[in-house]
Structure 1
Amino acid sequence: MALLNEVKSELASVETDLPAAKMAQAATMMRFGGGLRPVGNKAVIRAQFDSLEATEWLRKTIAHYFQREAKVTKISRQTPNGIVQRYDLLVERGATALALQTGLLDRRMHLVEGLPAEVISGNIAQVKAAWRGAFLARGMISDPGKSSYLEIICPSHETVTALQGAARRLGISAQARKVRSSERITLRDSDSIERMLMLMGAPRSAREWTGKRTDGEARGKANRLANFDDANMRRSAKAAAEATQKVKQAFEILGDDIPENLKAAGDLRLQHTDASLEELGRLSNPPITKDAIAGRIRRLLQLAAKTKRAQEHQQDNE
């Protein structure tokens, strides 16, 4: 539980100047925390969270970006494990307009079953913000040393599907599962959990989770780079770094004279220096296979080498 609080505290402190990312996070938090609902003869937005910092982030965002007032109430509930604190956020005035602004209602005034289309089809910053918002609202993570999982309880099957698609865009595979009546999306691979924490904006918690997990598994005798899988990761990271340097040199040699598909592949390599070829293929628009992205980068480097030889030959003749 302590680690969960630390993760949510770190995520709630993430700062972004991108309005679209703020809107994506706010919309997802409201959707997963409760959402638009009728109360008497009017509609309100009500969402409940277990983190005061997450609640305050949403309240401030609603005030600053949407000019709406949100009230926060502390709720204490007795459970078999003791008293549980929750924080209830309520928007009464202008709730319908806020739902339209954030995409919780579509243009036909229908409730969106999953996540707003502009969020799930938005840029990578919006995708990361959506996962961050969902985790802040309903996320859980295992304590180090136990069976690894990162899990989010989802309000509907459509929201599960939306988060699965968002995870794929980040190069991560997430599984849907149903526990009694609740829909959930789960990561169980330790490396995927670490990577998702980093992408959501919690690098400190990711390092802590990984370090404690490693200490528990190896009793302090080795860290992650000591095993075979991590040796492969290290080799992959080295290869990616070398490829990034070669792409930089290729861009310098070729200047603006680069075919668009090869330039796009090179740009992806420069933008995601630690990503695998498979992840780069998923990040392509439209997505392509690992072999296809590798082929494009290879042709880019070959074109640069050919151009450099031609330039050197021309200089020798002069």
Structure 2
Amino acid sequence: MALLDDVKSELAAIDNELPAARKAQATSMIRFGGGLRLVQRQIIVQAQFDSLDAAQWLQNAIRDLYGHEATMTQVSRPTPSGAVVQRYVIQVDRGGAALALQTGLLDRRKHLVLGLPAEIINGNIAQVKAAWRGAFLAHGALSDPGKASFLEVTCPCNEAALALAGAARRLGITAKPRQLRSSERITLKDPDAIERMLILMGAPHSAREWTGKRSDGEARGKANRLANFDDANMRRSAKAAAEASEKVRRAFEILGDDIPDNLKAAGQLRLDHGDASLEELGRLADPPITKDAIAGRIRRLLQLADKTEKARAQKATQDKPQSSTQAAAEPDAQPAE
């Protein structure tokens, strides 16, 4: 949230814009911050902001550009989490209809303009940038570094979202309207597009900070994923080494002293260095050999043990019936008394 506040403070501090761009920003802030209300047949202009700097900018712009006095009211509102947030409401009671006509939010026939006035959408690039700046100051959000990237503006209606999407296209950026929880939103998700939009709106310092923190977060995430991957590999390697050591120990018990020297040496290395990798075992051999060679010798040792054990079992199976037949024939061989 602190970074979002910094972005809005940087945008609200811009004071070198021409009157046409300042008017486009003021109109956009009114449209996306609230709009027009009809109270007892009187049009009231009202807009709400979460940034004090943004609210003060609009209050000054309404006075300097259009000659109307606007009041600012601070409102405290609880959030679902129990926290209390501050909101700043800018309102023009007297002269609201005149201001609406001046900003273009009412057309000449006094019909409400639901999106943005055509003179802004079709205006120069400075006006288009200012319209996006005003919309973001009114109801914009920016993702925290390290989380899924997004820049988003909540729109009062579908027409306003379409107008903002058209303005983004004129800036060379694709922004798609979407509906979320019964509200219309315009969203950017590509990090490069977000950085570019922040710069175009007039917040280059915040853009660099956001990009830097996002890159740091991605680097930390990648490092954590690699560390977890390495840990998993180490656990698998340790498990495989322990299983191999147990098989070698069993092979030694089966074969006894009847083991070729090269296979015995390889097996003994596995027993003596239970946590070592095959490559490390190869380096420990005398003379050193490759990991494929040490793996092959251990494999032949285990195969020899399996072959020997099967041969013994087969021999035992063949000898067992012969012994039983001899035992059954022995009483018949005794002389009768």
Q: How far did residue 37 of structure 1 move?
A: 0.9
Distance 2:134 2:205 in 1: 18
1:96 paired with 2:81, answer: no
Distance 1:138 1:211 in 2: 24
Whichever residue aligns with residue 20 of structure 1, its letter is A
Partner of 1:113: 114
Whichever residue aligns with residue 45 of structure 2, its letter is I
Distance 1:59 1:52 in 2: 11
Distance 1:63 1:96 in 2: 15
Q: Are the aligned partners of 2:75 and 2:86 in contact in 1 as well (CA < 8 Å)?
A: yes
Q: How far did residue 154 of structure 1 move?
A: 0.3
Partner of 2:266: none
Whichever residue aligns with residue 14 of structure 1, its letter is I
- SS of 2:120's equivalent in the other structure is helix
Partner of 1:19: 19
**1:194-229 CA distances to partner (integer Å, 9 max, x unpaired)?**
00000000000000000000011123999xxxxxxx
1:25-64 mapped onto 2 (5 Å cutoff)? 25-64=25-64
Distance 2:80 2:177 in 1: 28
Whichever residue aligns with residue 98 of structure 2, its letter is A
Partner of 2:177: 176
Q: Are the aligned partners of 2:42 and 2:97 in contact in 1 as well (CA < 8 Å)?
A: no
Distance 2:187 2:41 in 1: 38
**1:266-301 CA distances to partner (integer Å, 9 max, x unpaired)?**
xxxxxxxxxxxxxxxxxxxxxxxxxxxxxxxxxxxx
Partner of 1:275: none
**1:97-149 CA distances to partner (integer Å, 9 max, x unpaired)?**
11101100001100001101100000000000000000000000000110000
- SS of 1:148's equivalent in the other structure is coil
Partner of 2:74: 74
Q: Are the aligned partners of 1:215 and 1:221 in contact in 2 as well (CA < 8 Å)?
A: no
User: Cα gap change, 1:143/1:106 in structure 2, threshold over 3 Å: closer, same or farther?
Assistant: same
Distance 2:39 2:50 in 1: 23
For structure 2, which runs of at least 5 residues remain unmatched after alignment? 224-337
Structure 1 segments of 4+ aligned residues over 3 angstroms from their partners: 219-222
Distance 2:33 2:187 in 1: 18
Q: Please identify the structure whose Cα radius of gyration is greater.
A: 2
Partner of 2:256: none
- SS of 2:64's equivalent in the other structure is helix
Whichever residue aligns with residue 186 of structure 2, its letter is I
Q: Are the aligned partners of 2:151 and 2:187 in contact in 1 as well (CA < 8 Å)?
A: yes
Distance 2:212 2:143 in 1: 14
Distance 1:7 1:99 in 2: 28
Partner of 1:201: 202
More displaced, 10-19 or 142-151?
A: 10-19
Distance 1:92 1:130 in 2: 24
Q: Are the aligned partners of 1:149 and 1:190 in contact in 2 as well (CA < 8 Å)?
A: yes
Whichever residue aligns with residue 35 of structure 1, its letter is G
**1:23-67 CA distances to partner (integer Å, 9 max, x unpaired)?**
000000001111111112311101111001000000000011111
Whichever residue aligns with residue 189 of structure 1, its letter is D
Partner of 2:129: 128
Partner of 2:188: 187
- SS of 2:111's equivalent in the other structure is coil
Whichever residue aligns with residue 72 of structure 1, its letter is M
With the length of structure 1 as denominator, give the TM-score of the two structures.
Answer: 0.68
Distance 2:102 2:34 in 1: 17
Distance 1:163 1:33 in 2: 14
Distance 1:220 1:160 in 2: 34
1:251-266 mapped onto 2 (5 Å cutoff)? none
Whichever residue aligns with residue 40 of structure 2, its letter is G
Percent sequence identity over aligned pairs: 67
Q: How far did residue 153 of structure 1 move?
A: 0.2
Distance 1:203 1:130 in 2: 17
Q: Are the aligned partners of 1:16 and 1:22 in contact in 2 as well (CA < 8 Å)?
A: no
**1:69-108 CA distances to partner (integer Å, 9 max, x unpaired)?**
0000000012233001000111011110111011000011
- SS of 1:210's equivalent in the other structure is helix
User: Cα gap change, 1:204/1:220 in structure 2, threshold over 3 Å: closer, same or farther?
Assistant: farther
Distance 1:17 1:125 in 2: 8
